[in-house]
Amino acid sequence: MGGRERQNHALSDRFFSPAERVSRLPHDLTLLPGDVSLCGTSLGAMPRKPGTTVEMVIDGLGTLRNVYG
């Protein structure tokens, strides 16, 4: 946020792997094409102010960029 990296954590640090997380979701809800699964945040995130640009980068996939507020 604001040009500064706030989080950079390996997937291996997650409680559930991405594959296990996605495999568990259909037990509680129906997944449709285009659905996005968000898993919250960890230490290092800070409150956002309106107008703050937030980017999420996934190597090999791309960048998701949103302006808060």
User: Are 42 and 8 contacting, i.e. CB atoms less than 8 angstroms apart?
Assistant: no
pLDDT tier at 53, thresholds 50, 70, 90: confident
Q: Which residue has the higher pLDDT, 30 or 40?
A: 30
- Closest to 23 (Cα-Cα) out of 11, 33, 37: 37
Q: Has residue 43 got a pLDDT over 70?
A: no
- Closest to 39 (Cα-Cα) out of 62, 12, 17, 55: 17
Residue 62 Rama label (left phi>0; alpha psi -120 to 50; beta): left
pLDDT tier at 44, thresholds 50, 70, 90: low
pTM exceeding the 0.85 threshold for the entire prediction: no
Q: How high is the pLDDT of residue 30?
A: 92
Name the residue type at position 18. P
Q: Has residue 40 got a pLDDT over 70?
A: no
